[in-house]
Structures are given as C-alpha cells and as structure tokens.
Amino acid sequence: MSFSTLGLHASLLDTLAALGYSEPTAVQRAAIPAMLAGSDLLVSSQTGSGKTAAFALPALQRLLATTTAQGSRRAGPRILVLAPTRELALQVQKAVHGYGVGQRLRTACLVGGMPYGLQLKQLSRPVDIVIATPGRLKDHLDRGRLDLARLEVLVLDEADRMLDMGFVEDIDAIVACTPAERQTLLFSATLDGVVGRLAQRVTRAAQRIDIAASTARVPRIDERALFADDLPHKTRLLDALLRDTDIGQVLVFTATKRSAEELSGALCEQGFSAGALHGDMRQRERNFTLQRLRDGRMRVLVATDVAARGIDVPGISHVINFDAPRQAEDYVHRIGRTGRAGRTGIAVTLLAHREKHLMRSIERYTGNALRVAVIPGLEPTARPEWTPRPRPGGNGRNGGGRSWGRRAEWKSGARPASNRYRAGG
C-alpha cells in the first residue's frame, strides 16, 4: 500500500517521497484515513511505529486545506499536541516542520525547564500548532497567555506516560479550555486502566486502533539478556560490549541521575566519547548533548528513563540497560530508541541473578523471550536457582546461554579502582 491511497494532499505526498518513506507503517495506514475523516481516535502503538507522522500529516493537511481555501491565519493554535517530556515535544516539533516543509508553519514549543522569554515571544504572534508539556502549557493558560478557544485538534501523545508523570489534573484543566467539538487523538502504549478512563473523559465516539506491540517493534530489535554476578562484573560486561567493533552509537540506561553521571564519567576516562542525559541538567546542556549524539561526535549516551524519551537518532545501534528497568513498560520505551525507521537494533539488558523476575515481567509484557547471552571469558558464575548464595569458583558457564559471538577485547587490572563503575574495579 502506498501513501497516495490514504487521502493525503499532493504536497504532503511529495514531502514523504523526498523523505524516502515508501509506504505507510501500520499505525499510519489505520490512523491517517480515520483522522482525515474527522474521527476521534484511541491508538495503542509503540514508540518507533511512525505514530508522529500518523497524527502530524492529517493535522498538516487540515491547516493546508484552510490556508488555501480561506487564505487567512487565525490567532490561537488550531492544533495542540501534549507530550510528556521536553525531548519528545521538541522531537514532535521537528517532525512537524519536516512533514510540513514549504508550508510556512507557525509552531510554538512550550515545555518546562525552558526560559519563558522565547515562549512568550512565540505566543505574541498567531500560531498554528502548539506542542507542549502539560505543566508548562497550564502555566501559560493560567497567566492568560494562550487562548485555546479556536482549537480544532488535540493530540495526547504518550498519554500513559503523561499520567505516570502525574499530569492528569493539568490535562483535565487544559481539555476544559478547549472547544467541545474538537477532534481528539490519544496515543498510548496501553489503553487500559487510567488511560482508558482519561480517554472516556476526553474523546467522543472514538475509533480504537490497536497496533500490536509485536508487529510494531519485535522484528526489528534483537533482545538479549546478560547475567552479571555483581557491579564490577556488570561494568566489565558493559566495557566488553562497548569495545565490540560492530556497535554504532549506544544508549545506556541507568536507574538514577547520579549513576548516569558517574558511569558516563568513568566511560570518558576509559577513552569512550560518552556523555550523560538526565532530568537535573539544564535544557541547554541536554540539547547540546543530544546534538553531539546526532552529529556522531558522541558514541555512548548514558541516560535515565525520562530524559531519553523521544530520542530519535538513527545511528543508535544498541540500547544497553545497565540497570534493568523496574517497569516492563519502560523497557519497551527504552529499547524503542534503537531499530528506528525500519532499521535493526540490538537491546541488551544486564541483570543481577536476583533480578530474574524483572526479565520475566518484561517477557510477559512484550510476549517476547529475551535471549540469554554470554560473553566468552566474562560468563557469570553459575548459580542454580535454588542456591541462595554464589558458589565460589563456579564452572563459569551459564548453562544454555548464547555466546555473544566473538571474544570481546578486555583489558583488565591496570586501572585504579577509585570509581565504582571502573571496568577493572
């Protein structure tokens, strides 16, 4: 199926051809015609499934149609996209400009952690599309800086995540400021529970589109698990992985901001071009770091969950969960940073033996088994499940494990052990 069958305007089709998009993804096939027909939509789709274009293209078409027909632009936003994080919001804004190239779009990105000055300037002019995080948008609404009375389309992107982050009241307050006859699209990894209740409040006769996690994601990402005995072993495994010549750019996830800083520092000391990305960094620093990653000047980015949302860098060949995600849902978002746009990717989750339950819950959630791998020479100490403690001098084999493929170069011993993430420590 080609994009031309979906009812999109010729200028948008030209842009898609120029971007090299030969055919719509599953979510685009289902959502674009429905959105063009004016339906409210509830879409369950994973990150990396092409969901941004699925809502951005029909939204742009709506602007295009009115601009050409009426030749006028109104003052308030006609399209509002709410996203959980700054990174995702900026990513969406970039995508919208990419898909709407040549359309003289006026967009404003209103996200927390950024100075008000530029945002107020953006709001002093007529704007077509606002992309925002809920907290900051609510703030602008409360101060009377923004009028949503003309809104035609409301998109809640990664709604599940916005609810996780405690934005429910802000979202309800924002929705209350929009016209009841708006079109509402809600995208989320899951449509159950609190998300379902939000959907009931904000949509009308919505059409439900379920894009199974498996079709959206699984074929593109090879998911592996490596068991580690302790932190020094885990650090050696990471070092070996990063020294593999087949690895392009890598996103490493840690559980805390502090670990992200420490680990990236240790990796820099070991000669890797590494950097950290976490919520305590100023937005300018975050943008600078992401730009270095995009330019290919940084090879390893060590990040926390929230900071990494929305990262879309095609060179990321591997995602390494240095700390296993506590929530299976986070796992899906993390690994979705690789295997973007039809490429393949590898996701490696490092697990302590006692974290086997996390692996099981990930497998239950995704319906997809993680392949247990080993790096020759860095096998975990064998530990039968019924034995509570490690057996000193185990046989060094993780029974049934899958070899990483080749012996990774590993230089041990020579470094001082002052940092807990030092590979030789």
Q: CB-wise, 139 or 329, nearer to ligand AMP?
A: 329
Q: CB-wise, 53 or 267, nearer to ligand AMP?
A: 53
Distance in angstroms (rounded) separating the CA atoms of residues 64 and 70: 10
Distance in angstroms (rounded) separating the CA atoms of residues 123 and 146: 7
Residue ranges of alpha helices (H) inside 177-225 are 193-202, 213-216
Six-digit token string for 61: 């078409």
The position carrying tokens 């001082």 is 416
**Which residues have C-beta within 8 Å of that of residue 402, sequence separation ≥ 6?**
224, 371, 372, 373, 374
Rounded least distance, CB 312 to ligand AMP, Å: 5
Six-digit token string for 56: 């951005």
Q: CB-wise, 68 or 291, nearer to ligand AMP?
A: 291
The position carrying tokens 């779009």 is 105
Six-digit token string for 37: 């027909």
Rounded least distance, CB 133 to ligand AMP, Å: 17
Q: CB-wise, 342 or 394, nearer to ligand AMP?
A: 342
Rounded least distance, CB 25 to ligand AMP, Å: 5
CB 64 within 8 A of CB 209: no
Rounded least distance, CB 20 to ligand AMP, Å: 7
Q: CB-wise, 126 or 342, nearer to ligand AMP?
A: 342
Rounded least distance, CB 13 to ligand AMP, Å: 12
Six-digit token string for 309: 């949302």
Rounded least distance, CB 295 to ligand AMP, Å: 17
Six-digit token string for 206: 């919505």
SS3 state of residue 272: coil
Q: CB-wise, 28 or 349, nearer to ligand AMP?
A: 28
Measure the CA dihedral 385/390/391/397, to 10°. Answer: 70
CB 318 within 8 A of CB 247: yes
Q: CB-wise, 8 or 350, nearer to ligand AMP?
A: 8
- Burial of 308: CB neighbours in 10 Å, binned 0-12, 13-18, 19+: buried
Rounded least distance, CB 336 to ligand AMP, Å: 8
Positions in the binding site for ligand AMP (CB under 6 A): 21, 24-25, 28, 47-53, 312, 340-342
CB 49 within 8 A of CB 217: yes
- Burial of 106: CB neighbours in 10 Å, binned 0-12, 13-18, 19+: middle
Q: CB-wise, 47 or 259, nearer to ligand AMP?
A: 47
Rounded least distance, CB 60 to ligand AMP, Å: 14
Nearest in space to 58 (alpha carbons), one of 40, 76, 70, 74: 40
Edge-to-edge order in the sheet of strand 221-228: 274-277, 300-303, 249-253, 316-321, 345-352, 221-228, 371-374, 402-403
Q: CB-wise, 281 or 316, nearer to ligand AMP?
A: 316
Rounded least distance, CB 47 to ligand AMP, Å: 6
Which residues does residue 350 pair with via DSSP β-bridges, in sequence order? Answer: 226
Q: CB-wise, 47 or 289, nearer to ligand AMP?
A: 47
Rounded least distance, CB 360 to ligand AMP, Å: 27
